[in-house]
Amino acid sequence: MTDTTWAPDLTQFPGPKYLALSRALRDAIRAGDLPPNSQLPTVRDLAWRLHLTPGTVARAYQLATQEGLLAATVGRGTFVAAQSPRLGPTQALYTERVTGGSTGLVDFRPPQVPEVGQAEAFRAALLEMAGATGQGWLDYTSQLGEAALRAEIVGWMGDRILGPIGPEDVALTHGGQNAISLIFDCCLRGERPVVLIEELAYPGFRYAARAARAEVVPVEIDEHGIVPEALEAACRRHGAQVLCLTTEAQNPSTGRMPVKRRQEIADIARRYDLQILEDDCYSIAESDIPSLRALAPERVWLVGSVSKTISAALRFGYVICPAGMGEAGRLTAQHGFFALSRPVADLMLHLFRSGEAQRIRAAVQAEFAARLQTLVNLLGAYDLGWQPGVPFVWLRLPIGWRASAFVRAAEARGVLVRSADEYALVHGRAPNAVRLAIAANLPRDVFEAAVQKLSDLLARPPADLSV
């Protein structure tokens, strides 16, 4: 059966065109308008018919294929899958990064740390570790062997106001995303638990919640973060178990929650017995106000990692558990993956004890600060949200631009940015804005030239917003 003339009306779907097309595909398949085994138009034919770029259509087809709705066969075309959508996650957490070179693209979607001597520090540590390998490298790793590393984390977090903490409060994980999943494993119960997130939030929260079979409910935010009245209403209505939020550097808006708002959130959490996941992964500068972990130590799980301060490749993260819950966190980790990989644990311990971790963090912060200054200088004439120490900015687009159109136009000029739509739920509200992360791995002249392209683009909005 073929349906190569299918051409949906995308005007009913807000947001980027590729997401609109993927939603149209999903709705048509579920409604039976595209029965199983129906053949879809080719990428180029559908792109021509809908006035889209072939890349936009290919991206929508790829999302629907990942979800199990479509099946592509080389030489035959793309068909509606005959089987039910597959189990498990259906959306990639991130689009693959690009690093320039032969692609000619500059990637401002994820922050990327600069090379400030990490390679040499890792090499020296690994050489020393090689001389100490023995029988212990043949056995399963255990939580008992991580005590010294947990103690180093307490010192590493000394620039935060966390309240009394010790090694017994720490659980170690394979990166920040693994830490989020660990917390959900600890806290969620029942067949359909509810997780609250900011209405614009790090996508990893909702991916991890869905993997845990939880319902995700967005809560209104303002310039200070979660709105207390909206949070209380959500707690009353949904009986939520976990709230995920970022207090120091809201992702993507860069906002910082003041102490009074933090205290209000902590008070509401106590009234409704709500556990709080406080994401600290982007907070690379010192903080001079109490964290939620300090204000509500009995219910706050603080997540951190070294991805934005040392290297994302290490996949090393940690959780400062609520008081008295450290053992529960470590047991959950043990049930999930026993303990950290021995090479990663030993390497991180060496970096902390030698002082290299602290040196690298300071150098990374300095380079991020210099790039941030460049970005603010070039785009400061526009409505830009930023704060010192945070490796991304929030650009509210001027009149004449839609976020989806700006993302496509920027990509056509070789610069990749993230639309606000990627931080909202499918049916949530997304402002007309984009997030620009600092690619500190690029030469400074290349970085500055890419920002200048965005500045030039902002000054010349298209005559036709459908572009």
Pairing mode, strands 317-320 and 170-173:
antiparallel
- Render pLDDT for 411-438 as a digit per residue (tens, 0 to 9): 999 999 999 999 998 777 889 999 999 9
Domain(s) labelled CATH 1.10.10.10 in the chain stretch across: 10-80
Helix/strand/coil for 372: helix
CA 430 from chain centre, in angstroms, equals 16
87 vs 347, more confident? 347
Query: In CATH, what class is 10-80?
Result: mainly alpha
Helix/strand/coil for 78: strand
pLDDT (mean) for 196-208: 96
Tokens of 269: 């959490």
- Chain position carrying tokens 């939620």: 292
- Render pLDDT for 227-264 as a digit per residue (tens, 0 to 9): 999 999 999 999 999 999 999 999 999 999 999 999 99
Helix (H) and strand (E) counts for the chain? Answer: 15, 17
Domain(s) labelled CATH 3.40.640.10 in the chain stretch across: 134-354
Contact indicator for 60, 18 with CB cutoff of 8 Å: yes
The pLDDT confidence band at residue 31, using thresholds 50, 70 and 90, is confident
284: Cα within 13 Å, side-chain hemisphere: 29
Taking the CA atoms of residue 298, residue 301, residue 306 and residue 312 in that order, the dihedral angle to the nearest 10 degrees is 170
What pLDDT does 101 receive? 46
What pLDDT does 3 receive? 52
Pairing mode, strands 300-305 and 317-320:
antiparallel
Contact indicator for 42, 2 with CB cutoff of 8 Å: no
Residue partners of 347: CB distance under 8 A and separation at least 6: 122, 125, 126, 129, 314
Residue partners of 51: CB distance under 8 A and separation at least 6: 466
pLDDT (mean) for 451-459: 97
What pLDDT does 15 receive? 72
The string of DSSP letters for 134-147 reads: -GGGTSPP-GGGGH
Q: Note the CATH architecture for domain 134-354.
A: 3-Layer(aba) Sandwich (3.40)
Domain(s) labelled CATH 3.90.1150.10 in the chain stretch across: 101-111+358-458
Residue 102 has pLDDT above 50, yes or no: no
421 vs 5, more confident? 421
Q: Note the CATH architecture for domain 101-111+358-458.
A: Alpha-Beta Complex (3.90)
